[in-house]
Amino acid sequence: MRETSAGGLVVAGLDGAAELRAALIGRVDRRGRTLWSLPKGHIEEGETAELTAIREIAEETGLTGNVLAPIGKIDYWFAVEGRRVHKTVHHFLLSWESGDLSAEDYEVSEVAWVPIGELASRLTYSDERKLVAAARTVIDDLASDPEELAARVAAAPRSEPTAYERAAAERNAVRNDPPRPRRRRGGRRSRGRRGGGSGQT
């Protein structure tokens, strides 16, 4: 199976008003460890990757941001419910616009502002550390060029999804749908199985 997500690095202080820092999310794994990463989530119907990044960052951190530039993508495999999934995540650099940190999303246990210089030691996953390191050039350039930063903040993100993004949203929708209960031959259900046909337990 394939699924496609988008998210990114939302940075405060690009205008020079404060120290450069980025918002990270923490999730607790089965061993009780907090794994720190960039916010991200599935592309949904009608969304571009940029709009997904804005929405997911708002949902997972409580912050709203403006997309400034793409900073790369990450591909990896994982297994869920006995199936292998190939995931592609498109990442963007965003400037913090408004909002306060909040961990109200059920998938997130903690959120934190982290100084840019400490991201390499805080981020759990090496591919995200490499992505952030590569983005430092763009961050430094925009922080030193107020006119270019203002122009990018003022530019509206793409609103019309490409064929790739529409197909990704369709695949993600299938991936998110709960499996339907199997029926025995003749349409009879096995004893003890809930009715209703929703497939939810």
The CATH number that applies at residue 163 is 3.90.79.10
Q: According to the model, what pLDDT value does residue 102 have?
A: 84
Is 117 inside any structural domain?
yes
Q: How many domains does the chain have?
A: 1
Q: According to the model, what pLDDT value does residue 79 have?
A: 87
Do the Cβ atoms of 54 and 103 come closer than 8 Å? Answer: no
In the chain, pLDDT over 90 holds for what percent of residues? 72
Enclosing domain of residue 104: 2-176
Residue 201 has pLDDT above 90, yes or no: no
- How far is it, in rounded angstroms, from Cα 122 to Cα 191? 51
What's the predicted TM-score (pTM) here? 0.83
Task: Answer with the residue of higher pLDDT: 196 or 178.
Answer: 178
The stretch 98-105 carries a mean pLDDT of 84
Is 183 inside any structural domain?
no
The stretch 143-148 carries a mean pLDDT of 96
Is 9 inside any structural domain?
yes
- How far is it, in rounded angstroms, from Cα 87 to Cα 83? 12
Is 8 inside any structural domain?
yes
- How far is it, in rounded angstroms, from Cα 24 to Cα 120? 12
Q: Which residues contact 39 (CB under 8 A, 6 or more apart)?
A: 7, 8, 10, 23, 24, 25, 56, 57, 59, 60, 61, 108
Q: According to the model, what pLDDT value does residue 35 have?
A: 93
Q: According to the model, what pLDDT value does residue 185 have?
A: 44
Q: According to the model, what pLDDT value does residue 133 have?
A: 96
| Half-sphere exposure at residue 43, Cβ-oriented, CA atoms within 13 angstroms | 29
Residue 193 has pLDDT above 80, yes or no: no
Question: Which pLDDT band, with edges at 50, 70 and 90, does 177 fall under?
Answer: low
Question: Which pLDDT band, with edges at 50, 70 and 90, does 152 fall under?
Answer: very high
Is 70 inside any structural domain?
yes
Sign of the dihedral defined by the CA atoms of residues 79, 175, 129, 110, in that order:
negative
Chain-wide mean pLDDT for the chain? Answer: 87
Residue 192 has pLDDT above 60, yes or no: no
The stretch 55-82 carries a mean pLDDT of 93
Sign of the dihedral defined by the CA atoms of residues 115, 102, 53, 90, in that order:
positive
